[in-house]
Amino acid sequence: QVQLQESGPGLVQPSQTLSLTCSVSGDSISSGGYYWNWIRQYPGKGLEWIGYIHYRGSTYHNPSLKSRATISVDTSKNQFSLKLKSVTAADTAVYYCARGGTIQSWWSLGYWGQGNLVTVSS
Amino acid sequence: QSALTQPASVSGSPGQSITISCTGTSSDVGGYNSVSWYQQHPGKAPKLMIYDVTNRPSGVSSRFSGSKSGGTASLTISGLQAEDDADYYCSSYTTSSTLVFGGGTKVTVL
């Protein structure tokens, strides 16, 4: 059974960098050719896709984030991470990691973590 | 990329069928067979219910079905049950190679 678990601080100060890690169990990030995603959900419940990474290093981010997001992978730890720089209160959300399909279906998010609430406030 | 348009709420009595619409453009819903539907209960992560417009993942009830006509996708829940009371979100691949979600629909089982 594939399981994902987000970890990271629940409070980040404005202008700082938000850092989250997603630990994967029950599957190897470096096998299967799956795409590993970050999604956030605002307090008003809207969902926004942040980006994905493939274990070979290819990544793609939502252009709406204006290059503030960086997604990386550590296959030795079976984890992938998100860094979002220069955060503001508008970045306050529950952040989810999720496993997508392979290259022909990376947008189908079949496995999700439980979510990590991040509040941006001083 | 604008969010896909969903009705804010839909309700039905147990045993009835309901349909949730998800309207986009030719740049997303209308251009690809890449629409997914997610169910979310309060305090929980979204759960994939339908992918690629009509396909159900293993373990999802056959009461859930998806379809698409032009730029509008639909999720139908037949034989409505109390456990179906939840929020539902659609998503679609886009011409910008991104993923866009709908604003969500609250389904209430009366």
pLDDT for res A65: 94
pLDDT for res A104: 87
**pLDDT digit string (tens) for B49-95?**
999 999 999 999 999 999 999 999 999 999 999 999 999 999 999 99
**pLDDT digit string (tens) for A28-73?**
999 879 999 999 999 988 999 999 999 888 999 999 999 999 999 9
pLDDT for res A26: 94
Choose among B57, B53, B48: nearest CA to B35.
Answer: B53
pLDDT for res A52: 97
Inter-chain residue contact A45 with B104, CB threshold 8 Å: yes
Choose among B23, B53, B24: nearest CA to B37.
Answer: B53
pLDDT for res B1: 67
Other beta carbons within 10 Å of B65: 18
The encoded tokens of residue A78 equal: 């079976």
pLDDT for res B103: 97
pLDDT for res A47: 97
In A57-116, the residues whose Cβ lies within 8 Å of chain B are 60, 62-64, 96, 101, 105, 107-110, 112-115
Choose among A45, A42, A107: nearest CA to B105.
Answer: A45
Mutate which of A5, A106, A107, A109 to disrupt the B interface (most B C-beta within 10 Å)? A107
Radius of gyration of chain A (CA): 14
Measured CA to CA, the distance from residue B83 to residue B3 in angstroms comes to 27
Please check whether residue A42 touches B, CB under 8 A: no
Measured CA to CA, the distance from residue A88 to residue A85 in angstroms comes to 9
A108 → closest Cβ in B1, B44, B48: B48
Measured CA to CA, the distance from residue A101 to residue B36 in angstroms comes to 12
Please check whether residue A25 touches B, CB under 8 A: no
- Give the single-character DSSP code of B2: P
The encoded tokens of residue A118 equal: 């991040």
Looking at chain B, the whole-number percentage of residues with pLDDT higher than 70 is 99
Please check whether residue A48 touches B, CB under 8 A: yes
Measured CA to CA, the distance from residue A48 to residue B50 in angstroms comes to 19
Give the C-alpha distances (Å, rounded to integers) separating A111 from A36, A92, A115, B2.
10, 23, 12, 25
Give the A:B interface size as CB pairs under 8 Å: 55
Radius of gyration of chain B (CA): 13
Count Cα neighbours of A19 within 13 Å in the Cβ-side half-sphere. Answer: 3
**pLDDT digit string (tens) for B1-57?**
689 999 999 999 999 999 999 999 999 999 999 999 999 999 999 999 999 999 999
**pLDDT digit string (tens) for A61-116?**
999 999 999 999 999 999 999 999 999 999 999 999 999 999 889 999 999 999 99
**Phi, psi (5° rounding) for residue A46?**
-65, 145
B97 → closest Cβ in A60, A109, A110: A60
The encoded tokens of residue A47 equal: 């969902």
Q: Chain B residues with CB-CB distance to A under 8 A?
A: 1, 3, 34, 36, 38, 44-48, 51-52, 57, 87, 89, 91-93, 96-101, 103-104
Handedness of CA B75, B81, B87, B93 (dihedral sign): negative
Inter-chain residue contact A47 with B87, CB threshold 8 Å: no
Contacts of B2 in chain A (CB under 8 A): none
A107 → closest Cβ in B44, B96, B99: B99
